[in-house]
Amino acid sequence: MKIRIRGNSVRFRLTKNEVEQLCREKFIEETTNFPNLNFMYSVRVSVTKNLDIDFANNQISLKISEELLQGWDTNNRVGFSHSVPTSNSQTIDILLEKDFTCLEDRGEDESNNYPNPKSLTH
């Protein structure tokens, strides 16, 4: 699982195995070990109408409804997006999507990524 944070937007990208695990187990988590603490990020099924996000105890928790998640591992839907109000009258944009292979080789292991739709066109 990868996350990309820029300003008030957070994007989560999941490989095929991670999407399958999330659909099956309703939870997926990753940890980055820093010298003085661990930073965690997770996606979990929760009672929410769309997507929701929270940050507490050094963890970003993305929440998705069971209804949205249903069948995501077997359908062609790329992902989900939603904007959530923040405590300072702004919004944070959330994106949860399948991770596609890059069009150019970047030296990363992408063997578990989804095929890039742009590479399938002739």
Name residue 39's beta-bridge partners.
32
Domain count, the chain: 1
Please indicate whether residue 117 or residue 29 has the higher confidence score (pLDDT): 29
Helix (H, G, I), strand (E, B) or coil at 23: helix
- Give the pLDDT band of residue 122 (cuts 50, 70, 90): very low
- Residue 104 CA to residue 3 CA, distance in Å, equals 20
Question: Which strand (E) or helix (H) includes residue 62?
Answer: strand 59-64
Which residue type sits at 38? N
Tens of pLDDT, residues 52-80: 999 999 999 999 999 999 999 999 898 99
What pLDDT score does 92 carry?
A: 97
What pLDDT score does 41 carry?
A: 97
**Averaged pLDDT of the chain:** 88
Structure tokens at 7: 């300003």
Q: Which domain holds residue 48?
A: 2-119
- Give the pLDDT band of residue 99 (cuts 50, 70, 90): confident
In this prediction, residues 29-46 reach a mean pLDDT of 96
Q: How far is CA 38 from the centre of its chain?
A: 19
